[in-house]
């Protein structure tokens, strides 16, 4: 294994796995395996990039650090030459962490400073200028992310936000330097390291900027950012003659289908509305779930009754509705009840014969994967930017799409099911 990724949630892990597998336009991608949790055994012999999916974004910082260091240890034992700490392209975190604490812990473990911190992902509208993160034409804290139920992002100045989470100083490589190319970026990172900056926010407005950043980091032991930061990394290994020719074959899986949506993001709610106009949908009453009055079997029965019609079950309420539920029942109790429900539902769906499963929402995807007790998946073709088709390893053959709440076009759900079944 050449490259190891530590991702702080499951959908983000699929996102960067997709980036590494396809490579930048016209360049060779890598043979990628996505692992759910820290593997108990060695990686497959043909794996060039291993992506470890953790659920560490919203847990206490100490726990996130501990999990991430254990993931680092496993990746280093597989021979990884470079490590990427992957977090959300909207920098989802709280003033206490977990990006800063985990980033600094990995920096200390690898004895490096001047580590890139760049969540930019232009293909989905995330750009970084003068250290400020934009979502399309809006500052992060005016984009709707300020209402996130778990990690409300109330400040677009990532230097200021990251400094609140960090012990060391936080640097900046502004776009005026980034646009000069990889040599200028590398020099700026070296200067930041000499000043003692462990993490350095690096501006990026275009994919060319991300590729230049990747080239500047060809010899870096540690990089951090969103999935876009990985765009230029396969090319570095290819240029060094370390990638094997060709790529793993990927074939879709046919069979009964189901869609689960648990994100309250604007994008997912639009996708649910679009799908509902054309296919059968079932609203999941969060109050009934919390009270124990709704069983997974109800969802399974709905899906099987509508087999072949792309059925969808969703609990994608508005932020105000989610906030009201959390006020009545408590944030932790509400989240635990819904995650447990989706975990049990995913397990019951696959046990009933479902072989194509689309899940929307980071926490919901994590719950579904946990419910299915999956160890690893291979990476297939891209469905929409940042969302690949996945196929399980081993005897239990299931095709999956794990979508971050804010990703995907309006017709994502139908398109995802078609791609999961494609025999390409």
- The structural domains of the chain, with segments of one domain joined by +, span 3-239, 257-420
At residue 424, the pLDDT reads 44
CATH code: domain 257-420 is: 3.40.980.20
Q: What is the pLDDT of residue 266?
A: 85
- pLDDT (tens, 9 = 90+) of the chain, 424 residues, equals 999 999 999 888 989 999 999 888 778 899 999 999 999 999 999 899 999 999 999 899 999 999 999 999 999 999 999 999 999 999 999 999 999 999 999 999 999 999 999 999 998 899 999 999 999 999 999 998 898 877 889 999 999 999 999 999 999 999 999 999 999 999 999 999 999 999 999 999 999 999 999 999 999 999 999 999 999 999 999 999 999 886 567 788 999 999 999 988 889 999 999 999 999 999 999 999 998 999 999 999 999 999 999 999 999 777 777 778 778 888 778 888 899 999 999 999 999 999 999 999 988 998 999 999 999 998 988 999 889 999 998 777 999 999 988 889 999 999 999 999 986 4
Q: Name the residue among 83, 126, 371, 293 with its Cα closest to residue 226.
A: 126
Q: What is the pLDDT of residue 247?
A: 57
**Based on the number of CB atoms within 10 Å of its own CB, is 94 exposed (0-12), middle (13-18) or buried (19 or more)?**
middle
Q: Can you give the pTM of this predicted structure?
A: 0.84
Q: What is the pLDDT of residue 27?
A: 82
What pLDDT is recorded for position 6?
Answer: 98
CATH number for the region 3-239 comes to 3.40.50.10840
Contacts of 401 (CB under 8 A, 6+ apart): 357, 358, 359, 383, 387, 388, 389, 390, 416, 419, 420
Predicted local distance difference test score (pLDDT) of residue 248: 65
């Amino acid at each position: 294994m050449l490259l190891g990724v530590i991702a702080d949630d499951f959908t983000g892990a699929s996102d960067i796995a997709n980036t590494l597998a396809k490579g930048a336009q016209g360049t060779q991608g890598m043979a990628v395996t996505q692992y759910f949790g820290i593997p108990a055994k060695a990686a497959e012999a043909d794996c060039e990039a291993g992506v470890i999916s953790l659920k560490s974004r919203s847990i206490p910082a100490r726990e996130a650090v501990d999990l991430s260091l254990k993931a680092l240890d496993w990746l280093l034992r597989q021979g990884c030459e470079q490590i990427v700490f992957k977090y959300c392209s909207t920098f989802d975190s709280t003033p206490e962490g977990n990006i800063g604490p985990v980033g600094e812990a990995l920096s200390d473990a690898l004895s490096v400073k001047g580590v890139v911190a760049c969540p930019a992902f232009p293909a989905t509208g995330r750009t970084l200028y003068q250290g400020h993160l934009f979502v399309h034409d809006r500052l992060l804290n005016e984009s709707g992310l300020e209402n996130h139920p778990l990690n409300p992002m109330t400040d677009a100045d990532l230097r200021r936000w990251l400094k609140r989470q960090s012990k060391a100083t936080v640097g900046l490589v502004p776009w005026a330097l980034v646009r000069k190319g990889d040599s200028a970026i590398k020099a700026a990172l070296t200067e930041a390291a000499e000043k003692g900056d462990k993490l350095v926010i690096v501006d990026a407005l275009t994919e060319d900027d991300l590729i230049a950043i990747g080239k500047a980091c060809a010899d870096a032991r540690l990089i951090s950012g969103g999935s876009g930061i990985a765009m230029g990394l396969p090319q570095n290994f290819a240029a060094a003659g370390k990638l094997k020719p060709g790529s793993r074959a990927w074939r879709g899986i046919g069979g009964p289908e189901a869609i689960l949506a648990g994100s309250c993001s604007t994008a997912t709610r639009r996708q649910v509305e679009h799908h509902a106009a054309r296919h059968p949908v079932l609203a999941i009453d969060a109050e009934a779930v919390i009270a124990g009055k709704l069983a997974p079997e109800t969802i399974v029965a709905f899906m099987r009754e509508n087999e072949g019609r792309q059925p969808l079950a969703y609990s994608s309420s508005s932020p105000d509705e989610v906030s009201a539920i959390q006020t009545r029942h408590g944030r932790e109790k509400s989240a635990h009840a819904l995650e447990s429900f989706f975990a049990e539902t995913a397990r019951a769906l696959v046990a009933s014969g479902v072989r194509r499963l689309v899940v929307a929402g980071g926490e919901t995807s994590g719950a579904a994967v946990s419910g299915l007790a999956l160890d690893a998946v291979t990476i297939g073709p891209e469905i929409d930017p940042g969302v690949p088709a996945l196929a399980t390893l081993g005897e239990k053959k299931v095709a999956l799409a794990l979508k971050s709440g804010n990703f995907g076009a309006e017709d994502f759900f139908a398109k995802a099911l078609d791609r999961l079944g494609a025999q390409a």
